[in-house]
Every structure is written in structure tokens, then in C-alpha cells.
A and B are shown apart, each in its own frame.
Chain A
Amino acid sequence: IAGITQAPTSQILAAGRRMTLRCTQDMRHNAMYWYRQDLGLGLRLIHYSNTAGTTGKGEVPDGYSVSRANTDDFPLTLASAVPSQTSVYFCASSQAGTGELFFGEGSRLTVL
């Protein structure tokens, strides 16, 4: 059972470069989310999508964009990476009305 797959698992990136973190789920959940996790700050929501074709902004959306062309995929793009975007990024999904999130293993991004 794959659940949620994130790629890459780890990446070092030069500041100013463009980066896309990939997220794919095989559970047919309608909602998907991107969180970033930083020491002492817990999990903060970046963007979310309640269903294919729709997206919404979370707590810390600046510098990030997402798309939801289909149910399974929810990529997160950093158009021009900055060092403050160094973090561990988690993708998650949930089925409508349950509230329960299923998480991927995370993508560790370092921006130099």
C-alpha cells in the first residue's frame, strides 16, 4: 500500500532556483495539503486543495504555488527559492468529512 509518495526525499538547492516538490496519492482522497515543518514552529499549512481543480491558501503561502489538475497529484512549486524556505515539507491527504490526514514521508529541502 503506497498511500502518499513524495519526491524528492531530499534536495539541496541554490537560492533563486525553481523547484517543484511532487506528491502523489493512490487513496482517491479528494483533499490534499502541503505543510512545512520547522523546529519550534510545528506544522504550518502552505496550501491546500479540497478537490481537483481548486486550491486555497494556508497560513504561510508566500513564495509557493500549487496546482491540482487531477485527484492524485498535488505538486508544490517554489518559483525562486530563498534560504528561509529551508524546511521539511509534508504532503497529506484526507477523505471529505473525516478530517483525518494521511501523511507522506516528507521532503527535506535545503536552500543555500
Chain B
Amino acid sequence: AQSVTQPDIHITVSEGASLELRCNYSYGATPYLFWYVQSPGQGLQLLLKYFSGDTLVQGIKGFEAEFKRSQSSFNLRKPSVHWSDAAEYFCAVGPFLSGNTPLVFGKGTRLSVIA
């Protein structure tokens, strides 16, 4: 069965510092991979997604993620964090070209940003 692991429950970074949030997945086929962000009291918003092709994908708000098949990873990065990036981040995996099988989400990583 597919699963997603986000090893870091909570990360604190200084404003302006770089950020990397880790995501590892277990999936028997070629996956769709997603990162979502949830601001306090809000629903989830899509940051970026990987379906195929270039393994480095760009998303909104200056985020990027790199798909590494050999490591079963899809880590999220941002070169310079802003205070407004403080939120909960979720990695998710789904089946490639297999209709509407629901996504499986990781447990999330909470990002705190300090001055």
C-alpha cells in the first residue's frame, strides 16, 4: 500500500534562511506527487505537483521540489523563507493515470519562521 512519510513534525527557520522539507513515499507504480500548504484556520492549497518529465518542479510562492526516484523522495525547498511562509506543509502521493484513486497524505510538517 502507498504511504508518505514526512520525518520532521516541526521545523523552525530564521527569516531569509533556506528551507528544505523532507518527503519520502512508498508506491508501487509511477506516482503523482504533490505539496500542499495550509495556513492557520484555512483549507489546503496546492503549492506544486510532479507528474512526469523534469524532476525539478517549480511552484507558487517561490517553492520548488525535486523528485528523486532512486531515493523515493520529493523534498520541498525554498531559498529564502519569508515570515508569511509559516504554515503546515503536506506531501501527498497518488497513482499516475489511474483515475480518481484518492491521494494519500503525509502527517505534515509545521514550519515556524523567526525574525
Residues of A in contact with B (beta carbons under 8 Å apart): 4, 30-31, 33, 35, 40-43, 45, 48, 50, 58, 90, 92, 94, 96-97, 99-106
Contact = CB atoms under 8 A, between A and B. Distances in A.
B103 A101 contact: yes
Interface string B1-16: 0000000010000000
Interface of B: 9, 32, 34, 36, 41-46, 49, 51, 90, 92, 94-95, 97, 99-100, 102-108
A2 B108 CA distance: 26
A33 B9 CA distance: 25
Given A42-B108, A103-B45, A106-B43, A96 B102 contact: no
B44 A42 contact: no
A40 B43 contact: no
Counting chain A CB atoms within 10 Å of each CB, which of B32, B92, B100, B105 scores highest? B100
12 contacts: A41-B107, A43-B108, A50-B99, A50-B100, A92-B44, A96-B100, A97-B97, A97-B99, A99-B32, A103-B43, A105-B42, A106-B42
A33 B105 contact: no
Given A30-B100, A40-B107, A42-B107, A99 B42 contact: no
A110 to B, nearest CB: 15
Given A42-B105, A42-B106, A106-B43, A100 B99 contact: no
A92 B43 CA distance: 9
Nearest to B9: A40
Nearest to A47: B102
A48 B44 contact: no
A99 B103 contact: yes
Contacts of A33: 102
A35 B43 CA distance: 11
Contact of B43 (A50, A94, A97, A104): A104
A101 B100 contact: no
Contacts of A104: 43
Contacts of A43: 44, 90, 105, 108
A99 B94 contact: yes
